[in-house]
Amino acid sequence: MSKANVKKRPAQTEHTALGAKKKIKTADEVLLKVKALAKRVREDPILSRTLSDLQLPHSCREVVDKNADSVLDEVESTIYQVAQQILNGEGFSYGIPSRAKGNQMYIPELDRIVLKDSKSQRPFASTSTCRKAVITTRILQLIHELCLKRIHVTKRDLFYTDVKLFEEQGNSDSTLDDVACLLGCTRSSLHVVASEKGVVVGRLTFREDGDLIDCQRMGVGGKAIPPNVDKVDSIQSDALFILLVEKDAAFMRLAEDRFYNTYPCIILTAKGQPDVASRLFLRKLKDTLKIPVLALVDSDPYGLKILSVYMKGSMNMSYDSSNLTTPDIKWLGVRPSDLDRFNIPEQCRLPMTEEDMKTGKRLMEEDFVKANPEWIKELEIMVQSKVKAEIQALSSFGFQYLSQVYLPLKLQEGDWI
Q: SS in 3 state form for 178-193?
A: HHHHHHCECHHHHCEE
Tell me the sheet residues that pair with 295.
Answer: 244, 331
More confident of the two residues 46 and 204: 204
Task: For residue range 340-350, list pLDDT tens digits in order.
Answer: 999 999 999 99
Instruction: Please provide residue 165's backbone torsions phi and psi, each rounded to the nearest 5 degrees.
Output: -80, -50
More confident of the two residues 59 and 272: 272
Q: Residue 308, Cβ neighbours under 10 Å: how many?
A: 20
- Using DSSP's 3-state secondary structure scheme, residue 281 falls into helix
Please tell me the distance from the alpha carbon of residue 304 to that of residue 384, in angstroms, as a whole number.
16
**49 band by pLDDT with thresholds 50, 70 and 90:** low
pLDDT at 44: 73
pLDDT at 416: 96
Longest dimension (CA), the chain: 88
**14 band by pLDDT with thresholds 50, 70 and 90:** low
* CA triple 282-182-71, angle to 5 deg: 75
**103 band by pLDDT with thresholds 50, 70 and 90:** confident
Q: Is 135 exposed, middle or buried (0-12, 13-18, 19+ CB in 10 A)?
A: buried
Please tell me the distance from the alpha carbon of residue 27 to that of residue 376, in angstroms, as a whole number.
32
Q: Residue 336, Cβ neighbours under 10 Å: how many?
A: 23
Q: Residue 179, Cβ neighbours under 10 Å: how many?
A: 26
Task: For residue range 260-292, list pLDDT tens digits in order.
Answer: 999 999 999 999 999 999 999 999 999 999 999
Task: Judge whether residue 415 has pLDDT over 90.
Answer: yes
- Using DSSP's 3-state secondary structure scheme, residue 195 falls into coil
Task: For residue range 155-209, list pLDDT tens digits in order.
Answer: 999 999 999 999 999 999 999 999 999 999 998 899 998 877 899 999 999 999 8
Task: Judge whether residue 114 has pLDDT over 70.
Answer: yes
Instruction: Please provide residue 327's backbone torsions phi and psi, each rounded to the nearest 5 degrees.
Output: -70, 160
Task: Judge whether residue 239 has pLDDT over 60.
Answer: yes
Percent of the chain with pLDDT over 70: 93
Point out the residues that are catalytic: 160
**112 band by pLDDT with thresholds 50, 70 and 90:** confident
**42 band by pLDDT with thresholds 50, 70 and 90:** confident
**Beta strands 192-193 and 199-202: pairing type?**
unpaired
pLDDT at 10: 47
Percent of the chain with pLDDT over 90: 72
pLDDT at 2: 42
**6 band by pLDDT with thresholds 50, 70 and 90:** very low
Task: Judge whether residue 8 has pLDDT over 50.
Answer: no
**Beta strands 265-269 and 387-388: pairing type?**
unpaired
- The chain-wide mean pLDDT, for the chain, equals 89
Please tell me the distance from the alpha carbon of residue 200 to that of residue 205, in angstroms, as a whole number.
11
Task: Judge whether residue 19 has pLDDT over 70.
Answer: no
Containing 250, the helix (H) or strand (E) segment is helix 248-256
* CA triple 415-282-260, angle to 5 deg: 55
**48 band by pLDDT with thresholds 50, 70 and 90:** low
Task: Judge whether residue 152 has pLDDT over 80.
Answer: yes
Span 393-399, average pLDDT:
93
* CA triple 389-309-281, angle to 5 deg: 110
**367 band by pLDDT with thresholds 50, 70 and 90:** confident
For the whole model, what pTM was predicted?
Answer: 0.87
Task: For residue range 300-313, list pLDDT tens digits in order.
Answer: 999 999 999 999 88
CA 269 to chain centre: 9
